[in-house]
């Protein structure tokens, strides 16, 4: 690996990092705008044309607000909580294939930071680390309500991670690989996994909603029951990091869903474009398609938020343990039978 | 009986069938409903730039009227103050002097006329009680202010602008 390759890799890391930050930033704006449209309102329109500078104004406000650390809280852990949350949210983007390889000069550049052969396991590991951010934050606040909120969040995330993992197993039986790059490549043409694993996708998207703490699974921050949930004691940018991490998580999980089930960067007519325009345009168009799919999923996250009311906590646990896990296991069995006897 | 709105639904409490218990069709239905709203025109009125039109019988701030020659109609008879259930109106009457005939319509006029906007309930009884058609609640919303004393509106705020302006 030459110096140029390292430089290209480094640039790729920086670009993807910046893209996830910008998308998370503008997700807050999109969230408010889309919420407004769903409620027949206009939404933020004061900062800049159509309010597009609103995230900058929000960020500036977050940084300038007073920073409060409770007297009896552990300052180190109190700061470690949001840092962990945003760190684990950011490093998930490393294994997602954003496109095929493109050629810059003499270098072949894969549009993916790193293609490790256990890509999905890496994502799962990183996502489950995200619970630590919430848990440590709730614990370090030295506040019963925060702790209760953190426990709720942790138990919810762990419960849904089980069914998420089980729903993935059926997919892995179909694809036979853990590498996200290979999974994306296998879906070339119209072999999108959602056509082979519709139930698995349904389970996965439900669990993704729960993992990212989005409505209807936003119980960790249930203001009517727990003041503010695990981040009750947080102010200024530390609270901002928690909320920001949620939006980055939403972006990453949308990207994972697009890659695993909806064909990733593949689009219909890809071979035709490749044959007619050369080896640069087609992969770049693939990147555009990938991001279009991601944005559709982010929109879906926001769409559901204004449709379904929040679950009660026992209903949440019922759904996770009594419905999703048995359904995921049944899906594995059906997939196994299908692979063994029919395929 | 036929319901007035025709939107009455009879609720049945029979057990849910499988599709209803699966919950997903209901979610899809809900998503369709919210999506319909996504494309609907916003009902927002951006207030300072754009003002909602009042209905014709909206009762806003009071104004003391002038007649067609620009003379004040009010003769300080006190009927408005008497009819006011909130006792928001006070006035001091004075006699018209020589040379003031172009200002006041009759021999008696209100030297001081005050309405306490904090007491006023905008019932419109003063309007109805006035025999001279001198007071109407046809103005705008009473603006906010910082001090209680600023809500006592004198003639400077109540009387219509003179005709020649």
| Mutation to test the B interface, candidates A35, A51, A306, A327, most B Cβ within 10 Å | A306
Please indicate whether, in this complex, the C-beta atoms of B33 and A42 are within 8 angstroms of each other: no
Q: What percent of chain A has pLDDT over 70?
A: 98
Counting the structural domains of chain A, the total is 1
Nearest CA in chain B to A39: B37
Average the pLDDT over A137-159 and give the result. 87
Q: Which of A9-18, A101-110, A309-318, B145-154 has the lowest mean pLDDT?
A: A101-110
For residue B140, give how far its alpha carbon lies from the nearest alpha carbon of chain A (Å). 25
CA quadruple A87, A89, A94, A96: dihedral, nearest 10: 180
Please say if the pLDDT value at position B93 is more than 70.
yes
What residues contact B131, with CB distance under 8 A and at least 6 apart?
B77, B79
d(CA A264, CA A257): 8
To the question of whether residue B80 is assigned a binding role by annotation, the answer is yes
- Tokens 């999974």: give the residue: A183
Please indicate whether, in this complex, the C-beta atoms of B34 and A42 are within 8 angstroms of each other: no
Is residue A8 in some structural domain? no
Average the pLDDT over B108-131 and give the result. 92
For residue B50, give how far its alpha carbon lies from the nearest alpha carbon of chain A (Å). 14
Cis peptide before A216 (omega within 30 of 0): yes
- The confidence score (pLDDT) of residue A225 equals 64
Please indicate whether, in this complex, the C-beta atoms of B31 and A303 are within 8 angstroms of each other: yes
Domain spans, chain B:
61-158
| Most confidently predicted of A6-10, A295-299, B160-164 | A295-299
Mean pLDDT of chain A: 88
Which of B144, B116, B93, B54 lies closest to B126 in space, CA to CA?
Answer: B116
Average the pLDDT over A76-101 and give the result. 89
To the question of whether residue B74 is assigned a binding role by annotation, the answer is yes
Which pLDDT tens digit goes with each residue over A90-141?
Answer: 888 888 988 888 887 777 888 888 888 888 899 888 888 888 888 898 888 8
Q: What percent of chain B has pLDDT over 90?
A: 44
For residue A200, give how far its alpha carbon lies from the nearest alpha carbon of chain B (Å). 15
For the domain spanning B61-158, the CATH number is 3.30.70.3270
- The confidence score (pLDDT) of residue A258 equals 92
Average the pLDDT over A243-263 and give the result. 91
Please say if the pLDDT value at position A69 is more than 80.
yes
Contacts 24+ apart (CB under 8 A), B53-59: B59/B122, B59/B123, B59/B124, B59/B127, B59/B137
Per this entry, what is the length of chain A? 343
Cβ count within 10 A of residue B90: 15
- The confidence score (pLDDT) of residue B121 equals 92
Burial of A21 (0-12, 13-18, 19+ CB in 10 A): middle
Which pLDDT tens digit goes with each residue over A17-55?
Answer: 999 999 999 999 999 999 999 999 988 888 888 889 999
- The confidence score (pLDDT) of residue A27 equals 92
- The confidence score (pLDDT) of residue A131 equals 87
- The confidence score (pLDDT) of residue A212 equals 87
Query: Could you tell me the residue range of the domain that residue A160 belongs to?
Result: 69-342
- Contacts A42 to B, Cβ<8 Å: 42, 44, 46
Q: Model confidence at B28, in pLDDT bands (50, 70, 90)?
A: very high
- The confidence score (pLDDT) of residue B113 equals 93
Please say if the pLDDT value at position B129 is more than 90.
yes
Per this entry, what is the length of chain B? 165
Average the pLDDT over B135-155 and give the result. 90
Task: Supply B158's token pair.
Answer: 């109540």
Q: At what angle do helices A236-260 and A119-140 cross, to 10 degrees?
A: 160
Please indicate whether, in this complex, the C-beta atoms of A307 and B31 are within 8 angstroms of each other: yes
Is residue A316 in some structural domain? yes
Which of A107, A327, A334 lies closest to A202 in space, CA to CA?
Answer: A327
Classify residue B54 as left (phi > 0), alpha (psi -120 to 50) or beta: beta
Window 102-161 of B: residues touching A by CB (8 A cutoff) are: none
Q: What percent of chain A has pLDDT over 90?
A: 28
Please say if the pLDDT value at position B165 is more than 60.
no
To the question of whether residue B158 is assigned a binding role by annotation, the answer is no
Q: Model confidence at A312, in pLDDT bands (50, 70, 90)?
A: confident
Window 265-284 of A: residues touching B by CB (8 A cutoff) are: none
- Contacts B27 to A, Cβ<8 Å: 307-308
- Tokens 């001198």: give the residue: B134
Nearest CA in chain A to B36: A38
Higher pLDDT, B129 or B48: B129
Is residue A305 in some structural domain? yes
DSSP-derived secondary structure for B94-151: EEPPTT-TTTBSSSEEEEEEEEETTT-----HHHHH-TTS-EE--S-PPPP-SSGGGG
| Cβ atoms of residues A220 and A159 within 8 Å | no
- The confidence score (pLDDT) of residue A222 equals 66
Which pLDDT tens digit goes with each residue over A53-63?
Answer: 999 998 899 89
Computed over its alpha carbons, how large is the radius of gyration of chain B?
27
Which pLDDT tens digit goes with each residue over B56-70?
Answer: 888 999 999 998 888
Please indicate whether, in this complex, the C-beta atoms of A38 and B37 are within 8 angstroms of each other: yes
Residue A40 touches chain B, beta carbons under 8 Å: yes
Please tell me whether the interface predicted TM-score (ipTM) of this complex is above 0.85.
no
């Amino acid at each position: 690996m030459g110096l140029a390759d390292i430089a290209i890799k480094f640039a790729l890391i920086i670009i993807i990092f910046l893209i996830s930050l910008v998308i998370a930033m503008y997700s807050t704006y999109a969230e408010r705008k889309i919420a407004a449209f769903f409620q027949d309102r206009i939404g933020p329109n004061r900062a800049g044309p159509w309010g597009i500078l609103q995230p900058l104004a929000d960020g500036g406000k977050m940084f300038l607000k007073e920073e409060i650390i409770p007297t009896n809280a552990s300052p180190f852990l109190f700061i470690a909580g949001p840092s962990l949350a945003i760190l684990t949210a950011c490093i998930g983007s490393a294994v997602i294939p954003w496109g095929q390889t493109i050629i810059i000069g003499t270098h072949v550049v894969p549009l993916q930071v790193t293609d490790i052969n256990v890509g999905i396991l890496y994502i799962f590991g990183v996502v489950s680390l995200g619970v630590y951010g919430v848990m440590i934050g709730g614990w370090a606040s030295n506040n019963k309500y925060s702790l209760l909120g953190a426990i709720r969040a942790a138990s919810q995330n762990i419960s849904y991670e089980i069914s998420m993992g089980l729903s993935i197993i059926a997919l892995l039986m179909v694809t036979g690989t853990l590498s996200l790059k290979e999974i994306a490549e296998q879906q070339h043409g119209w072999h999108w996994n959602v056509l082979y694993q519709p139930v698995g996708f349904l389970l996965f998207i439900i669990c993704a909603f729960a993992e990212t703490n989005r409505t209807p699974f936003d119980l960790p921050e249930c203001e009517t029951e727990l003041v503010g949930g695990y981040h009750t004691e947080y102010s200024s940018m530390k609270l901002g990091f928690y909320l920001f991490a949620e939006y980055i998580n939403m972006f990453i999980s949308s990207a994972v869903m697009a890659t695993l089930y909806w064909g990733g960067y593949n689009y219909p007519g890809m071979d035709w474009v490749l044959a007619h325009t050369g080896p640069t345009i087609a992969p770049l168009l693939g990147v555009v398609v990938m991001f279009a799919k991601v944005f559709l999923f982010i929109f879906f996250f926001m769409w559901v938020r204004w449709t379904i009311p929040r679950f009660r906590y026992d209903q949440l646990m019922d759904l996770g343990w009594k419905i999703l896990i048995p359904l995921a296991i049944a899906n594995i069995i059906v997939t196994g039978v299908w692979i063994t006897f029919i395929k | 009986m036929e319901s007035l709105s025709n939107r009455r639904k009879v609720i049945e409490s029979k057990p849910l069938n499988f599709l209803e218990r699966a919950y997903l069709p209901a979610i899809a239905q809900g998503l369709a409903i919210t999506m319909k709203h996504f494309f609907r025109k916003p009902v927002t009125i951006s207030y300072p730039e754009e003002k909602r039109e009042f209905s014709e019988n909206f009762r806003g701030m009071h104004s003391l009227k002038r007649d067609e020659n620009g003379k004040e109609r009010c003769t300080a008879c006190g009927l408005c103050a008497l009819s006011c259930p909130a006792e928001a109106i006070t006035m001091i009457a004075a006699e018209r002097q020589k040379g003031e005939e172009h200002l006041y319509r009759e021999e008696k006029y209100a030297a001081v006329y005050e309405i306490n906007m904090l007491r006023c309930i905008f019932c419109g009884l003063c309007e109805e009680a006035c025999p001279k058609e001198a007071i109407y609640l046809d103005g705008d919303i009473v603006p906010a202010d910082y001090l209680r004393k600023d809500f006592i509106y004198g003639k400077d705020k109540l009387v219509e602008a003179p005709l020649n302006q």
